[in-house]
Structure 1
């Protein structure tokens, strides 16, 4: 981040009072930090784990307008999502990019093709641009290599958007900190403080890294912990109201499933939308949508049933893909929370945001990644009477700061060039206000890709130097995504990564060994196939 956000500096002044204290460092939490600072509010954000370590780094990587929500009548949700997506595409080039979707339609689909066509017409009307096209059966076969053509009834081509979700969290966070906000990872909210009237007025915090504690007061305490929101609400004397759903993905090397567009289809088992999509040089297949009944963990794992479900979908949409689960380079799962209305089918629960004031604890949860700024501004309007001078968020303000192209170009010239235009845009998009600083910090030979991925070695150096890396997993799973993109969590990189961590973080050999073992165990437990994976017969043919 920057020296002003050093852990010790923040802890020395942490008691407050703060205008706003945000618990939760996912996309909604960092969006709240950014919008609060924009209003001139003294704001602190804390997360019990790493920034974006929960659901916000485990999505399907899509910044979408919510086409599927039209089928459940959630028109306003779709309208807000489309508008926010368009803003992000304009302001986040290099981080949020348009991506083509192909949607085949089959005889017997619960949602017939003509309904998709109607939904896409509404979708494009909201976006004020006509971008969808209907294709015949033969055209769809030409567009999607290896597509299952049995009972195929044509399909549609349209556009949505894609991102690196963890880097989006970090870019918004960096901009908030750059503007004066404070943020701490690995800082757990252990209790709620109350005033004489019994209302929440602060939080008891514990630093899991530095082993120190403090009672922190704030005018407004916001619970933005997502799937963990009920835990903090319990401290406020509230009963559970949320349903936790797990979404899991398989990650295949591109050579195993080479696609250039998102292939969206209805799963033959339950007619849920499932996607096969290209991302960062690999191919993802996902997502599931099942009740998460296990103990809550920052690192949930895919189940054997979910592996079977995704492989069944893969073998339905592609003719003889010849893939087995063992071809996957990694897996990942995330937990999202929705308001529990008791529906039998978890996919029918509403994805709308929910916003509560319970004895002074403000809880915001639900919604979608695309709507993070909208949710943050809704929350600040909701609590405006409790804030100094009752500020009102500006919906017309930029979502992401404008990039300093001149500073970046100068730093690139000093480095002697060497990057193509796509790589430059990628750095600008992901690192925003710090992209020129990243270039200046790069050592000779570090503006080169890591093991054939789009990631540069300079990104790792910058992360360990300036992005609050506490554990090895922070570096390889969120600051970069190498742990998802490479076999065994990128184990082949560890000797060179060790040198970086010892040099920039000051780790000794004992600390490195402990981090390496913990990272290996985490990858085996939460980012690999389950030990008892059942392989569908079709996948072995």
Structure 2
């Protein structure tokens, strides 16, 4: 036990003083060609972050590069759930459910500020595919697979009781309902915390660094890397490459002249409503007319619904919610809820992402396994694809296990350093009791900073133990950037200094979620944020103008009404 405690203390000490910024990024790229890395991970989503944590913790010289921003692909566009996967239990994928439930518990312990339990309502109707008895058996199995890791036992409730708890759920032909438990998370910020954790463990990390080509020889792989910010090109050498590029997996494999297709990408979209338009206290399971399980999830002032699961053959960089996608979810919602007829006019925003599933072209996309696979494309090139957000940490560990079998990589730390990875908190997550932590600190810092307790609670939920670093920017910056908003001026500085935020889109979408969870998609305060970023990052007036134009076009193209034709 003493070893584990020492590791946690050491990790938090390093994390508190570490800056994860544009400056550290530039230094990483400038020196990236000066040595031969043990492992180069390509892809800055949750899969790459998990592999980087495992590699750095074991002592390997690890570099991770992302062509855009962290979590800019699938990892910020999920259903934002940490769950065992009740649907996978129906498919009899028991091992995946067991692994997922185990990882759910670990994430509750190592990232308690980000991962939190949530009640889910599962209504049953006369026309439901499964009757109450079958669902009861499934939920008993779900609880049993969770074992000692349960966050709550399921229970059955009557339609009358449910009507009092969730009056918006349609009661017509309802035969009963169940309540069970899973967890929610901000997926983009979870990815960022994992990246910061890898950096604190010794990994070198850079976003906006595109691997353009690969050359292999008997000793190492040479990657040509382009800095997308200033156009500089670097030659990076590594003993092993891990391809963790998600929907871009086959694109990266093609750089090795691999012509076969590994992935079957499927698209999932979500739509967001104001909570007063769809007021829910719990997440609700609903079903589309074709029988697909969909979730309606309350999040602060909003409720979101998703997801779809359709084949996708287009550009992974150009994924949007189509009219057909949105109508599909609206139909399911209007079937499930009483709150008048929901329409496109009610949609605040939408998001769409791709699942990098491994499977053939035949069959229903929803039947494809969510398990991950590790493929040896070359003795010095591993591909990891598939998998779930929930199991990212386990995927990372198993990927590095495979890497160690592929090459005689040289360890640089003692074996003691590699013990008990499941006990190491993610960046900002060294919190024993999150409820007590929030209670004590919201009172203390509400007085110190003259802010509402709710604002302090939000800051803890986003930054964990690191929220106190906001005070270094001075009392004058511990106030809302714009009147009527909750975002502090100090947060803009922190996000740039500690979260490698380089663009307006980075901040508005993946750092603060204003793009999707705000009535105006963040437009009411985007100019104030751009001004603050311009001063901090020394943007020219032309650069600031371009950033604003890009952001406004993104809102108009994808989020303004939640629809893009096609």
In the alignment, what sits opposite 1:538?
Answer: none
**Aligned mates of 1:243, 1:228 — CA distance in 2:** 11
The Cα of 1:447 is off from its aligned counterpart by 4.5
Q: Are the structure 2 counterparts of residues 414 and 482 from structure 1 closer, same or farther at C-alpha, using a change threshold of 3 Å?
A: closer
**Aligned mates of 1:174, 1:94 — CA distance in 2:** 15
Q: Are the structure 2 counterparts of residues 96 and 453 from structure 1 closer, same or farther at C-alpha, using a change threshold of 3 Å?
A: farther
Q: Are the structure 2 counterparts of residues 260 and 112 from structure 1 closer, same or farther at C-alpha, using a change threshold of 3 Å?
A: same
Equivalent residue in structure 2 for 1:314, among 325, 328, 333: 333
Q: Are the structure 2 counterparts of residues 414 and 162 from structure 1 closer, same or farther at C-alpha, using a change threshold of 3 Å?
A: closer
Contact 2:298–2:304 under 8 Å retained in 1: yes
| TM-score normalised by the chain length of structure 2 | 0.87
Q: Does 1:177 align with 2:199?
A: yes
Q: Does 1:489 align with 2:516?
A: no
| TM-score normalised by the chain length of structure 1 | 0.91
Contact 1:91–1:398 under 8 Å retained in 2: yes
Equivalent residue in structure 1 for 2:263, among 242, 250, 265: 242
Residues 103-122 of structure 1 deviation map (CA, whole Å, 9 limit, x = unaligned): 10111222333222212111
In the alignment, what sits opposite 1:77?
Answer: 96
Equivalent residue in structure 1 for 2:462, among 418, 430, 433: 430
**Aligned mates of 1:334, 1:228 — CA distance in 2:** 12
Q: Does 1:9 align with 2:27?
A: yes
In the alignment, what sits opposite 2:363?
Answer: 344
In the alignment, what sits opposite 1:325?
Answer: 344
In the alignment, what sits opposite 1:465?
Answer: 497
Residues 41-70 of structure 1 deviation map (CA, whole Å, 9 limit, x = unaligned): 111111111001001001111111111110
Equivalent residue in structure 1 for 2:251, among 228, 231, 248: 231
In the alignment, what sits opposite 1:510?
Answer: 542
Q: Which moved more, 1:417-426 or 1:11-20?
A: 417-426
**Aligned mates of 2:431, 2:479 — CA distance in 1:** 19
The Cα of 1:416 is off from its aligned counterpart by 1.4
**Aligned mates of 1:397, 1:414 — CA distance in 2:** 31
Alignment of 1:23-422 (within 5 A): 23-127=42-146, 128=148, 129=150, 131-196=153-218, 201-238=221-258, 239-267=260-288, 269-297=289-317, 299-359=318-378, 360-385=380-405, 386=407, 387-389=409-411, 394-400=420-426, 402-403=429-430, 416-419=448-451
Contact 2:68–2:208 under 8 Å retained in 1: yes
The Cα of 1:343 is off from its aligned counterpart by 3.0
Q: Are the structure 2 counterparts of residues 477 and 358 from structure 1 closer, same or farther at C-alpha, using a change threshold of 3 Å?
A: same
**Aligned mates of 1:236, 1:338 — CA distance in 2:** 21
In the alignment, what sits opposite 1:499?
Answer: 531
SS at structure 1 position matched to 2:298: strand
**Aligned mates of 1:451, 1:274 — CA distance in 2:** 37
The Cα of 1:388 is off from its aligned counterpart by 1.3
**Aligned mates of 2:564, 2:42 — CA distance in 1:** 37
**Aligned mates of 1:489, 1:510 — CA distance in 2:** 23
Q: Are the structure 2 counterparts of residues 450 and 40 from structure 1 closer, same or farther at C-alpha, using a change threshold of 3 Å?
A: farther
In the alignment, what sits opposite 2:6?
Answer: none
Choose between structure 1 and 2 for higher RCO, CA contacts under 8 A separated by at least 6 residues: 2
Contact 1:227–1:337 under 8 Å retained in 2: yes
Q: Are the structure 2 counterparts of residues 346 and 483 from structure 1 closer, same or farther at C-alpha, using a change threshold of 3 Å?
A: same
The Cα of 1:17 is off from its aligned counterpart by 0.7
Contact 1:338–1:350 under 8 Å retained in 2: yes
SS at structure 2 position matched to 1:248: strand
Q: Are the structure 2 counterparts of residues 513 and 412 from structure 1 closer, same or farther at C-alpha, using a change threshold of 3 Å?
A: farther
**Aligned mates of 1:468, 1:65 — CA distance in 2:** 32
Contact 2:479–2:488 under 8 Å retained in 1: yes
Q: Which moved more, 1:381-390 or 1:132-141?
A: 381-390
**Aligned mates of 2:103, 2:425 — CA distance in 1:** 9
Q: Which moved more, 1:438-447 or 1:479-488?
A: 438-447
The Cα of 1:523 is off from its aligned counterpart by 1.7
Unaligned runs of 5+ in 2: 1-18
Q: Are the structure 2 counterparts of residues 91 and 39 from structure 1 closer, same or farther at C-alpha, using a change threshold of 3 Å?
A: same
Residues 163-192 of structure 1 deviation map (CA, whole Å, 9 limit, x = unaligned): 111111111111221232111111111111
Contact 2:503–2:547 under 8 Å retained in 1: yes
Unaligned runs of 5+ in 1: 535-541
The Cα of 1:29 is off from its aligned counterpart by 0.8
SS at structure 2 position matched to 1:363: strand
